[in-house]
Structure formats: C-alpha cells, structure tokens
Amino acid sequence: MTSTVSTTTVIRDTLASGGFDLVITVPCKYFASLLVEMDGDERFEIVYPCREEEGLGIAAGAHLGGRKPIMIIQNSGLGNMVNAYCSLNQYYGIPLCLIISHRGDELEHVPAQVPMGTITQDLLSMLGIECVVLEHPDDVGALEVGLARFGQGQSVAFLSKKTFWGQ
C-alpha cells in the first residue's frame, strides 16, 4: 500500500473488485470513514439494520439471492448474533463475510467493552469463522487472502484493531 492511498480506499476498492455489492452495518466509530467512502460509491448499497441479527438475516437472504454481502460490525454485535448465525448460517451452510472492529483490547477506554474483547477470537473459532487479524494499516493486503477463502465457501471475519484504523 502506498502512503498516498488511504486504508479505507484500499478496503473499499478491494471489496468492490471482489464483487461485494451490499454492505450491512451497525456502525462503530473505528470504521466511520470507510462507511462514508462506501456511501458515496455507487458500487455499494448500504443497509443499517436495528440489530446485528437482523443484518445477518438480510445478508443470508442476499447471498441466497445471488448478491455478495458483507457485514461491518463491532465485536459486541458478533455476540448479539451468535444464535442466529448457528441456526441459520451454520445449519444451512451459508457463508458470511465480516469486518469487525475489535473493541475491548488493550487500547480500550470503555471498560464495558473489555469482556467481549477478550473472547472475540475464541468465539470466532468456536463458530468456525476464520479470523484474519488486522493490526496495522499495512495488513490491508490480508484482505485478498481472506476474501479468497470466503469465495471458497468459508465464513471469514476480518478482526480489525484500533491501530489498524489509525486511531
């Protein structure tokens, strides 16, 4: 990645090149600039569900209808949608692609975020969702590797640290 191209622009363009056309998000401040870029891009439709479980249903339906959705959520939202993921995506073999902000790590200033932050990677593993950790802006290249796994039918989560977003 060159210093003249922002991390958010690389993510946006990588997702568009990969055919992703539907963004389902319950926003987090970490990726606010990414959502602003995507909102102004005609390659994406953005849906803001009330809760992550609702978004999961939208993503599953879109996938079954031939679209390529991605969910962009906070890790606390992952906790909200565990049952829906197990009874819908796992049961019916519907892959899910996620970009997750990792709240509750060592840089967290909100103590209530810490419990979920400490179990996020283990939870992804228990759910059978491949986890790609993004810690630094240069890690954006890992997107293509993870997206290839998603293209093979594997659910994939890009767990993005605060440092990845330059915060």
Regarding the domain with residue range 7-160, which homologous superfamily does it belong to in the CATH classification?
A: Thiamin diphosphate (ThDP)-binding fold, Pyr/PP domains (3.40.50.970)
Give the global pTM. 0.94
CB crowding 125-159: b at 16 or more within 10 Å, else e: eebebebbebeebebbeebeebbeebeeeebbbbb
State the pLDDT at residue 72: 98
Q: How confident is the model at residue 107 (pLDDT cuts 50, 70, 90)?
A: confident
Q: What is the mean pLDDT of the chain?
A: 93
Please give the Cα distance from 157 to 100 (Å, whole number).
7
What pLDDT, in 10s, does the model give residues 11-33? 999 999 999 999 999 989 999 99
Q: How confident is the model at residue 2 (pLDDT cuts 50, 70, 90)?
A: very low
Three-state SS at 161: coil
* Average pLDDT for 137-145: 92
Between 109 and 127, the more confident residue is 127
Q: How confident is the model at residue 4 (pLDDT cuts 50, 70, 90)?
A: low
What secondary structure letter does DSSP report for 121?
Answer: H
State the pLDDT at residue 167: 66
Domain coordinates of the chain in residue numbers?
7-160
What pLDDT, in 10s, does the model give residues 46-78? 999 999 999 999 999 999 999 999 999 999 999
